[in-house]
Amino acid sequence: MNSESFTNNRKAFIAKMETPSFALLFSGVAPHKSNDQLYPFVTDRNFYYLTGLMRENFTLLLVKGAKYESEFLFIEEPSDFATKWLGKRMSQAEAAAISGIKVENIRLNQELNGFMHAAVLSDSRKALIEMPKILYLDLYRAKPYQKPKSLQQANELITAYPELALKNLNDILYDLRTIKSESEIKMIEQAIAYTNIGIEALMANAKPGVNERHFDALFDFTIRLHGSEGTAFNTIVASGKNATVLHYEENNKDTVDNDLVLLDLGALSGPYAADISRTFPVNGKFTARQREIYSLVLDVNKKTIKKIKPGLTVAELNKFASDELAKGLLKLGLIKDASEVGKYYYHMVSHYLGLDVHDVGSYQRPLAPGMVITVEPGLYIEEEGIGVRIEDDVLVTENGQRNLSEAIVKEIDAIEELMAVND
């Protein structure tokens, strides 16, 4: 992704800010794990969307007046000590090159408060720009006990300037993030390509007795070997009855002959996620019963994908998938009335995908070109120890849709053929 993408994202965001106002976004810091260890740092996705930067402890400040717009970035000061212990710090020139923010507008963290008060909020600047009336902060899921920086900043600024009105910047940003640009779609496609390689490695190395953890590790290993930064979310490898638990993450059971294995996993490409589910027989051959259930889910997966077009809502899509699954369950005699479908299918068929695996955006909004959604019908038959989910990642286009994960094996014959290399 080049700096132009991020410059465009900021332009689009600023265009929707009210006048006069300012916005603050933080890249975040790694959460504490234990003693002197931290969890890996994950860049705040809103911050990334507007800057392209994946560094800790950076702040973006956007200012909008009637005749004045400006963007400033505050970064960590490069020091010899930090460089020796933690590696090279990002310079102002590097941050400018990635984000497209002018280098003279990139300052050091210690200047942020003084700068904000002097340049943005000071009465003496009234002649130049209006005093902002609104402060935009990222308040989505900001819980007081987590002490997010957005709430700390809100408290400080609203105390000092009680005339400021607080607004949640996600109301603007989520709408923007829902529609993906060409370069974002390319990133998602790359994440899907890594995922494909990982899934093929798992199927090709499957045999009864292999522990779920082995598949989990092999997926991680394979995608990273091929260039992915790692997994986009905790990998689910669920064999046999475990596959009927939707978010099973223990991944520690030995598979047994005739188990189906349900994978729900995705690689990252940069900060962009793939989210794919595939289900396969650990011994390489579907039983007759497994074929019946699998074929039904596969059929609904394909029909639901075909249905996607601008104007439809996710709720309508879910209703369609649910009705189709119900028809199939009636035929198989698993239910006596369509209203019982909830016994075997009990989640939504789609969610947005992008910088977050469950990406942001309103589900009230009808589908529109540029949206990327998952399609993931499933059936979970606990009494038979069979769980099947088949999930693809689909781009909504002007005329319909394009299945971005078309290349990932899902036909019964193709799976059996791929797994036959084991024999």
CB 354 within 8 A of CB 177: yes
Please give the distance of CA 155 from its chain centroid, rounded to a whole number.
29
> Looking only at residues 193 through 252 of this chain, which bind Mn ion when binding is defined by CB under 5 A?
none
Q: Is 374 in the site for Mn ion (CB under 5 A)?
A: yes
State the minimum distance, in angstroms, from the CB of residue 327 to Mn ion: 23
Judged by beta carbon, residue 71 or residue 275, the one nearer Mn ion is: 275
Part in contact with Mn ion (CB under 5 A); list of ranges 131-139, 241-249, 270-278, 402-410: 270-278
Hey, how many other C-beta atoms are within 10 angstroms of the C-beta on 64?
24
Part in contact with Mn ion (CB under 5 A); list of ranges 96-104, 174-182, 271-279, 293-301: 271-279
State the minimum distance, in angstroms, from the CB of residue 276 to Mn ion: 8
* CA distances in angstroms from 118 to 257, 291, 319, listed in the order given: 70, 69, 55
Hey, how many other C-beta atoms are within 10 angstroms of the C-beta on 264?
24
Residue nearest to Mn ion (CB): 275
Binding-site size, Mn ion (CB under 5 A):
2
Residues 289, 292, 298, 299: what is their CA dihedral angle, to the nearest 10 degrees?
A: -170
Question: Whole-angstrom Cα distance, residue 26 to residue 58?
Answer: 6
Judged by beta carbon, residue 138 or residue 275, the one nearer Mn ion is: 275
Part in contact with Mn ion (CB under 5 A); list of ranges 188-196, 298-306, 337-345, 369-377: 369-377
Strands (E), 193-333: 236-239, 260-265, 268-269, 272-273, 276-281
Judged by beta carbon, residue 21 or residue 374, the one nearer Mn ion is: 374
Q: Is 401 in the site for Mn ion (CB under 5 A)?
A: no
DSSP-derived secondary structure letter, 43: -
State the minimum distance, in angstroms, from the CB of residue 275 to Mn ion: 4
Q: Is 275 in the site for Mn ion (CB under 5 A)?
A: yes
Angle at which helix 288-307 crosses helix 314-332, to 10 degrees, equals 150
Judged by beta carbon, residue 136 or residue 352, the one nearer Mn ion is: 352
State the minimum distance, in angstroms, from the CB of residue 241 to Mn ion: 21
- Cis preceding linkage at 271, omega within 30: no
State the minimum distance, in angstroms, from the CB of residue 290 to Mn ion: 22
Question: Whole-angstrom Cα distance, residue 405 to residue 377?
Answer: 15
Quickly list DSSP for 67-95.
Answer: S-EEEEEEEPPP-HHHHHHH-PPPPHHHH
State the minimum distance, in angstroms, from the CB of residue 312 to Mn ion: 18
- Residues in contact with Mn ion, shown as a per-residue x/- string from 319 to 348 under the rule CB under 5 A: ------------------------------
DSSP-derived secondary structure letter, 339: G
Strands 134-137 and 106-108: unpaired
Judged by beta carbon, residue 44 or residue 275, the one nearer Mn ion is: 275
Part in contact with Mn ion (CB under 5 A); list of ranges 210-218, 244-252, 312-320, 366-374: 366-374
In 3-state terms, what secondary structure has residue 204?
helix
For residue 242, which of 271, 256, 262, 221 has the smallest C-alpha distance? 262
Judged by beta carbon, residue 283 or residue 403, the one nearer Mn ion is: 403
State the minimum distance, in angstroms, from the CB of residue 373 to Mn ion: 9
Part in contact with Mn ion (CB under 5 A); list of ranges 116-124, 145-153, 233-241, 374-382: 374-382
Give the residue carrying structure tokens 């019908």. Answer: 377
Q: Is 318 in the site for Mn ion (CB under 5 A)?
A: no
State the minimum distance, in angstroms, from the CB of residue 111 to Mn ion: 42
State the minimum distance, in angstroms, from the CB of residue 181 to Mn ion: 22
Part in contact with Mn ion (CB under 5 A); list of ranges 14-22, 44-52, 177-185, 371-379: 371-379
Residues 350, 354, 359, 361: what is their CA dihedral angle, to the nearest 10 degrees?
A: -90
> What residues make contact with Mn ion under the rule CB under 5 A?
275, 374
